[in-house]
Amino acid sequence: MSDASVHHVQLENRQRAEITGVTSVESFDITEFTLTTSAGVLQVHGTDLHMKHLDLESGHVIIEGLVTGMQYLPESKKKRGLTTRLKW
């Protein structure tokens, strides 16, 4: 297993989340980040959230702010982007 595919979550004092194994950032704003990881879709909830570091080549993301919760979503509940929701 390559380093980029190893999934690890470390939360420090609810102020800093360091996440590895990230393959894409689906969406983000100051209250929620949705990340696709090698272990599934992960949502990070909080207030004043911002991305401190992003390196998708190595699969490493650091989010800072007040983290109030994290959850893995079933694949069927994954948020889809605007282009996948449009019907032609």
Residues near 51 by beta carbon (within 8 Å), at least 6 away in sequence: 25, 28, 33, 61, 62, 63
Percent over 90 (pLDDT), the chain: 77
Cα separation, 66 vs 12, in Å, equals 10
Other C-beta atoms closer than 10 Å to the C-beta of 21 total 24
Neighbours of 23 (CB within 10 A): 13
Alpha helix segments (H runs only) across the chain: 82-85
Is the model's pLDDT at 16 over the cut of 90? yes
Is the model's pLDDT at 67 over the cut of 70?
yes
Could you tell me the residue ranges of all domains in the chain? 3-75
pLDDT for the residue 5: 82
Q: What is the pLDDT of residues 45-55, one digit of tens each?
A: 999 999 999 99
| Class of CATH domain 3-75 | mainly beta
Tokens of 64: 């800072």
